[in-house]
Chains A and B, each alone.
Chain A
Amino acid sequence: MTTSSSKQIDPAFLKSIEGKQSLSKIWVGSLIILLVLGLVALVYQIVKGHEVTGMRDNVVWGVYIINFIFFVGLSYSGAFISGILHFFETPWKNAVMRIVEIVTVLSLVVGPIFILLCIGRLDRLHYLFIYPRIQSPITWDVIAIITDLIGCFIYLYLTFIPDFAILRDKEDLEVSDKRKNIYRFLAMNYQDTPEQRAILKKITRTMSAMIIAMAIVAYTVLAWIFSLTLQPGWNSTIFAPYFIIAGLYSGVGFIIICMYLVRKYMHLEHYIRKIHFVGAGIVLLVMSLLFGYFTFSEYFQRWFSHKIHDMNLLDTLFDEYFLEFVLANYIGVLVPVVILFFKRLRTIKSITFAAVIAVLGLWLNRYLIVVPTLETPYLPIQDTRPEFLHYTATWVEWALTLAGVAGFCLMFTLLLRFVPAIPISEMMEGQNKKNNGHRAKKADS
């Protein structure tokens, strides 16, 4: 069966796997340069200590933890979306499924690296396991993220198995023997028999439900790291759901951006179509409205009840961070809402633009949650050293941030060289169905 259907595989899928695309040299080269820069910054930070960052006694967490929340948020929402797509067997899932899964796992690999960067004694990291205190939200977070990571890896792998089998069986695939052997090993003797297919489907479905739960738990615990403290800007009952919505908002936006790039540079225009962008765009619209609603509730309540310490925080936000506040919480919400609300404005490019605004706005929103709160403690900071009064990220932190993004992009690129960007097996199934008279295409649109 596999040999007969292999003829139907679109060469566009396999081009990148066979390494026939040329664009990547400059791309990969510049990513590696960024990574090397990050490595230099890392060594510098390890040698000189955390003094080389902008973090000081009041703002003890800076850009690193913001990146951590941001990337883990992407991962969490990826898991959530992918789980939903799979569990409810959404018709157009095939086009975006693989991208979502890869985003999920890669951001969960990159995210925790950032939390490691703000740990003072990396040499004692194992103390988390030697002297664990289960009462600490950090311990919950460690458990949740490790569980989530393992769960996502298993899930991702399960969805890859049929494709590995196809790549293994496709004899005219122009890759090295070594690579073929890897495919053979990873396919785990999957022959696509009805029995195997049923088992795989059942396991994947169970797993997809589980990673939704794991993602919610992981991101809730992350929100608790902030909301369980007594700090005025963090001690909020809505923080866990707020974080989950915010994560979904950035996640959907990020997936749209990835869809756009993959579509453009891997020439998959035929498979990732406008219908997918519009579908994802509407999800983004819903998320932007929800996110705006939560943001409004959060700040409106603080402003209206005007407890003294809440007001101090709002003063900081509207005074020193006014521009950032407008960019994150007005522009970052309203621009996507306007673009996505009107049917006429929904083009692939405009939807991607809205997604870019959403993702950048959300990063800034995280910044405003972390930094101004730490700059406005209960007891006023009375100090003369400017770096203790205001946090400004140093080149080391920016270099490592860019390196994290570059690392993500590099892994994404390399992974797409190894596996197809669109699940071939699922696509073929769709085609077969169509050939058999099923109106899969109609359901698709």
Chain B
Amino acid sequence: MKKENSKNEQNRRKFLQLGLLSGMTALAGNSLIQSLQDDASADSEDSGEKVRVLTPDGKMVEVDAASLNKYPEAHIPPAEARKGIPNKKFVMVIDLAKCKNARKCVEACQRGHKLDYHEEFMKVQLIQNNDASEPYWFPKPCFHCEEPPCVTVCPTGATFRREDNIVLVDNNRCIGCKFCITSCPYSARQFNWSHKEKFDDESTPYSPETGVPGQEGTVIKCDFCPDLLRQGKLPYCASSCPMGVIYFGDKNEDLVTNGEETVRFSQLINDRGGYRHLEHLGTKPNVYYLPAVNRQFPLERGFDVEEEVIERYKEVPYVQEMKKKGKI
């Protein structure tokens, strides 16, 4: 645990160096979770006291002290969450050559977003391009498309695309028509089919940037963890991957990092033949893939997971063959 913390700290520092530190972070203290719990019950009555603060885009404004958020992450209300983090164009690069289905990204994401066992914003799929090529592990988040079909079809504007490339869902606005789910070609969206106990936990106020507490009858999906981005941290999946598969960064700065190395985005894509999944659909995803060439791990390493997960891939011919040989 301690080790993990120090690793996260390291990741974070690297990310801060990228200049992803937002103005909000300046207001924030350090012990994030601690003070979050302390201030959970903070109310917002008018105090009459004025405070000068620096906005994220560098303007000095005077606001009422009571309307200041005491959370280190600065609770972002729905209206604010629609704007996005200024001057950022977030992008993700997933290096398929390094993925061995360790599923740490899935687990960290589930912990971070308070998801249940089967609720996965990040799914690891086993994909085979053609008969001649071996299948490969394919971590699939929401692609945060530049032309998102889900956003186009939403009748109430509950799902929206922000200036910083992130596509979010406002669960307070969603009417649950599920049109966005059917229009997403990447099956990135899920639905809260029933009420769950965790929805009653109102210790943190709802924000589209965190998606918690969830709400019955509304749509959920991967959100690129904008709450972490505001603190200058990497999304849960990127910081938790032991292989450094997931790079995350800002297109404007042309830099992406997996927490260990920081590279030029354009160079990475050009040198390694980066591509976007189902490019021909014209959705212009902001998630890029580096092809599964010169793999660091044999495919079988990915089957070192629990039985239930292996069962998911039973339709893939490769898996059927392996099973016949008794290798899985």
> Residues of B contacting A118 with CB < 8 Å?
177-178
* Docked-complex contact A229 and B183, CB < 8 angstroms: yes
How many residues of B are in contact with the other chain, CB < 8 A? 47
* Docked-complex contact A57 and B190, CB < 8 angstroms: yes
* Docked-complex contact A131 and B157, CB < 8 angstroms: yes
Q: Say whether A270 faces chain B, with CB atoms less than 8 Å apart.
A: no
Q: Say whether A142 faces chain B, with CB atoms less than 8 Å apart.
A: yes
Bound-state CA distance A16–B140 (Å) is: 63
* Docked-complex contact A231 and B182, CB < 8 angstroms: yes
* Docked-complex contact B183 and A384, CB < 8 angstroms: no
* Docked-complex contact B153 and A136, CB < 8 angstroms: yes
> Residues of B contacting A381 with CB < 8 Å?
187
> Residues of A contacting B178 with CB < 8 Å?
60-61, 118, 120
* Docked-complex contact A120 and B149, CB < 8 angstroms: no
Q: A135-B152, A136-B179, A378-B185 are contacts. A120–B312 as well, Cβ < 8 Å?
A: no
How many residues of A are in contact with the other chain, CB < 8 A? 43
- Neighbour of A379 across the interface among B140, B194, B217, CB < 8 A: B140
Bound-state CA distance A382–B305 (Å) is: 15
Task: List CB contacts (< 8 Å) of B179-194 with chain A.
Answer: 179, 181-183, 185-187, 189-194
Which 7 residue pairs of A and B lie closest in terms of their CB atoms, listed nearest first?
A120-B176, A120-B217, A49-B194, A51-B194, A138-B155, A60-B178, A136-B155
* Docked-complex contact A120 and B218, CB < 8 angstroms: yes
Cβ contacts A132-143/B at 8 Å (1 or 0 each): 110111110010
Q: A60-B178, A384-B311 are contacts. A131–B156 as well, Cβ < 8 Å?
A: yes
* Interface 9-mer from A122-130, A271-279, A327-335, A336-344: A122-130
- Neighbour of B177 across the interface among A49, A51, A120, A229, CB < 8 A: A120
Q: How far, in Å, is B166 (CB) from chain A's closest CB?
A: 19
Q: Is the interface of A mostly helix, strand, loop or mixed?
A: loop
Q: Which residue of A lies closest to B219 (CB)?
A: A120
* Docked-complex contact B218 and A121, CB < 8 angstroms: yes
Bound-state CA distance A60–B178 (Å) is: 7
* Docked-complex contact B182 and A61, CB < 8 angstroms: yes
Q: Give 16 pairs: A residue, B residue, CB < 8 Å, sorted on A.
A: A60-B178, A119-B217, A120-B177, A120-B217, A124-B174, A124-B176, A127-B158, A131-B157, A132-B155, A135-B152, A229-B182, A378-B278, A379-B140, A382-B313, A384-B312, A385-B118
- Neighbour of B217 across the interface among A50, A225, A385, CB < 8 A: A50
> Residues of B contacting A380 with CB < 8 Å?
125, 127, 315
Q: Say whether A374 faces chain B, with CB atoms less than 8 Å apart.
A: yes
Q: A142-B155, A378-B187 are contacts. A60–B181 as well, Cβ < 8 Å?
A: yes
| Residues of chain B at the chain A interface (Cβ within 8 Å) | 118, 123, 125-127, 140, 149, 152-158, 173-179, 181-183, 185-187, 189-195, 215-219, 278, 281, 283, 308, 311-313, 315
Q: A48-B194, A230-B149, A379-B125 are contacts. A121–B155 as well, Cβ < 8 Å?
A: no
Given A127-B156, A378-B278, 10 further pairs, Cβ under 8 A: A49-B194, A119-B176, A120-B178, A120-B216, A125-B175, A127-B173, A127-B175, A131-B156, A138-B153, A138-B177
* Docked-complex contact A377 and B185, CB < 8 angstroms: yes
Which has the most chain A C-beta neighbours within 10 Å: B127, B149, B156? Answer: B156
Q: Which residue of A lies closest to B140 (CB)?
A: A379
* Docked-complex contact A231 and B156, CB < 8 angstroms: no
* Docked-complex contact B193 and A56, CB < 8 angstroms: yes
Task: List CB contacts (< 8 Å) of A372-412 with chain B.
Answer: 374, 377-385
Q: Say whether A147 faces chain B, with CB atoms less than 8 Å apart.
A: no
Q: How far, in Å, is A230 (CB) from chain B's closest CB?
A: 4
> Residues of A contacting B140 with CB < 8 Å?
379
Q: Which residue of A lies closest to B187 (CB)?
A: A377
Q: Say whether A413 faces chain B, with CB atoms less than 8 Å apart.
A: no
* Docked-complex contact A133 and B311, CB < 8 angstroms: no
Q: How far, in Å, is B296 (CB) from chain A's closest CB?
A: 23
> Residues of B contacting A133 with CB < 8 Å?
154-157
* Docked-complex contact A120 and B175, CB < 8 angstroms: yes
> Residues of B contacting A382 with CB < 8 Å?
123, 125-126, 312-313, 315
Bound-state CA distance A51–B157 (Å) is: 25
Q: Say whether A228 faces chain B, with CB atoms less than 8 Å apart.
A: yes
Q: Say whether A58 faces chain B, with CB atoms less than 8 Å apart.
A: yes
* Docked-complex contact A228 and B193, CB < 8 angstroms: no
Q: Which residue of A lies closest to B119 (CB)?
A: A57
* Docked-complex contact A49 and B217, CB < 8 angstroms: yes
* Docked-complex contact B156 and A120, CB < 8 angstroms: no
Bound-state CA distance A61–B181 (Å) is: 10
> Residues of A contacting B149 with CB < 8 Å?
229-230
Bound-state CA distance A225–B178 (Å) is: 12
* Docked-complex contact B153 and A121, CB < 8 angstroms: no
* Docked-complex contact B175 and A374, CB < 8 angstroms: no
- Neighbour of B156 across the interface among A49, A50, A58, A128, CB < 8 A: A128
> Residues of B contacting A138 with CB < 8 Å?
153, 155, 177, 179
Q: How far, in Å, is A18 (CB) from chain B's closest CB?
A: 46
* Docked-complex contact B175 and A121, CB < 8 angstroms: yes
* Docked-complex contact A60 and B182, CB < 8 angstroms: yes
Bound-state CA distance A138–B151 (Å) is: 12
> Residues of A contacting B174 with CB < 8 Å?
120-121, 124
- Neighbour of A121 across the interface among B183, B217, B315, CB < 8 A: B217
> Residues of A contacting B215 with CB < 8 Å?
121
Cβ contacts A182-225/B at 8 Å (1 or 0 each): 00000000000000000000000000000000000000000001
Q: Which residue of A lies closest to B124 (CB)?
A: A382
* Docked-complex contact B153 and A137, CB < 8 angstroms: yes
Q: Which residue of A lies closest to B193 (CB)?
A: A51
Bound-state CA distance A383–B187 (Å) is: 13
* Docked-complex contact B185 and A231, CB < 8 angstroms: yes
Bound-state CA distance A379–B185 (Å) is: 8
Bound-state CA distance A245–B312 (Å) is: 41
> Residues of B contacting A378 with CB < 8 Å?
185-187, 278, 281
